[in-house]
Amino acid sequence: MEQPDKFSNDEILKRVVIGFLFFTYLFIFIKIMYL
């Protein structure tokens, strides 16, 4: 039971990291467009 929970938690963490990187990339792209 502990293993599946850890896998799910790791998947959520991975999605959060990907989302954060995507948001940062989008913010930089908008900043470059404005400049």
- At 9 the pLDDT is 83
Structure tokens at 7: 């896998």
- The residue type found at 12 is I
For residue 34, give the H/E element and its range.
helix 2-34
pTM for the whole thing? Answer: 0.57
Hey, which bits of the chain come out as E strands?
none
| Rounded-to-integer distance, Cα 2 and Cα 7, Å | 9
pLDDT in tens, 1-35: 566 667 688 889 999 999 999 999 999 999 999 98
